[in-house]
């Protein structure tokens, strides 16, 4: 039950994109088409969950025993960068279909704040291993949900008469604000 609550809280109440503002660059960048946003969402779920597991293990079994918590930032970003590179090479060799689907999004993910943010939040909330797993998966699923929903709205925006100055990123941000308002409605669900 606790895990379900944790997952619901991570997906809806504290949506990583719309309530915690992480991962906004890809949110505005690759949300113009529905299928690219699905690809990006899937790539983020995949990498963020893997990266969270790795960074959690490294933090508690390498950095903490040697009192090196202060280089957390440096260690995490290197792990994420290496992981992304590795996943890219691995997918290219082993699974052509998956590589074709996720390939172009992988390099972008290194500098996606959502991945790094989830890894840092795991440490901040002092999760144990299972909680960390649920939280990372749910948070990145929340990211995917938000970006896919947003892409759907944005496709409609293209054919709407938007004032000239508001076209592009400006209207996208206002739309995101309204979506965020909708997600704010979940706020009472979980304490």
Partner 1 sequence: MTTYKQVFVHGLWKDLPPFRLVLGLCPALAVTASAVNGLGMGLSVIFVLVFSNMFISMLRRIIPDKVRIASYIVVIATLVVLVEMLLKAFFFPLSQQLGIYIPLIVVNCIILGRAEAFASRNPVLLSMIDGFSVGAGFTISLTILGSLREILGAGCWFGRSIAWEGFEPFTFMVKAPGAFICLGILLGAMNLYSRKRGETFIQT
Cα(23)–Cα(139) distance, integer angstroms: 11
- How far apart, in Å, are the Cα atoms of 129 and each of 60, 61, 113, 132? 10, 12, 22, 5
CB 8 within 8 A of CB 187: no
Closest approach, Cβ 100 to partner 1, in A, equals: 23
State the minimum distance, in angstroms, from the CB of residue 115 to partner 1: 8
Can you say whether residue 61 is alpha, beta or left, with left for phi > 0 and alpha for psi between -120 and 50 degrees?
A: alpha
User: Quick one: 6 or 172, whose CB is closer to partner 1?
Assistant: 172
In the bound state with partner 1, the residue whose beta carbon lies nearer, of 4 and 89, is 89
**Nearer of residues 4 and 71 to partner 1, judged by Cβ:** 71
Helix or strand run (H / E) with residue 140: helix 129-158
Binding site for partner 1 (CB under 8 A): 18-25, 27-28, 70-74, 76-78, 81, 110-113, 116-117, 120-121, 124, 163-178, 180-181, 183-184
In a 3-state reduction of DSSP, which class is residue 160? Answer: coil
- The least CB distance from residue 33 to partner 1, in Å, is 13
Q: How far is the CB of 180 from partner 1 (least distance, A)?
A: 4
Question: Please, which residue, 4 or 78, has the CB nearer to partner 1?
Answer: 78
| CB closer to partner 1 out of 97 and 161 | 161
Rg, the chain, Cα only: 17
Q: How far is the CB of 175 from partner 1 (least distance, A)?
A: 8
Closest CA to 71 of 123, 129, 109, 24: 123
């Amino acid at each position: 039950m606790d895990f379900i609550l944790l997952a619901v809280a991570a997906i809806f109440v504290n949506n990583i994109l719309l309530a915690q503002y992480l991962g906004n660059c890809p949110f505005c960048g690759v949300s113009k088409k529905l299928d690219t946003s699905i690809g990006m969402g899937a790539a983020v779920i995949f990498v963020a969950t893997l990266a969270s597991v790795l960074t959690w293990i490294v933090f508690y079994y390498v950095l903490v025993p040697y009192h090196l918590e202060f280089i957390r930032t440096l260690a995490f970003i290197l792990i994420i960068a290496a992981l992304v590179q590795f996943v890219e090479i691995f997918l290219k060799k082993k699974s052509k279909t998956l590589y074709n689907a996720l390939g172009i999004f992988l390099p972008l993910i290194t500098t996606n704040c959502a991945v790094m943010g989830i890894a840092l939040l795991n440490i901040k909330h002092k999760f144990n291993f299972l909680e960390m797993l649920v939280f990372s998966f749910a948070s990145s699923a929340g990211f995917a949900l938000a970006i896919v929903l947003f892409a759907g709205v944005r496709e409609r925006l293209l054919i709407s008469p938007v004032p000239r100055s508001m076209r592009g990123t400006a209207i996208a941000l206002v739309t995101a604000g309204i979506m965020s308002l909708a997600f704010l409605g979940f706020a009472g669900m979980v304490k």
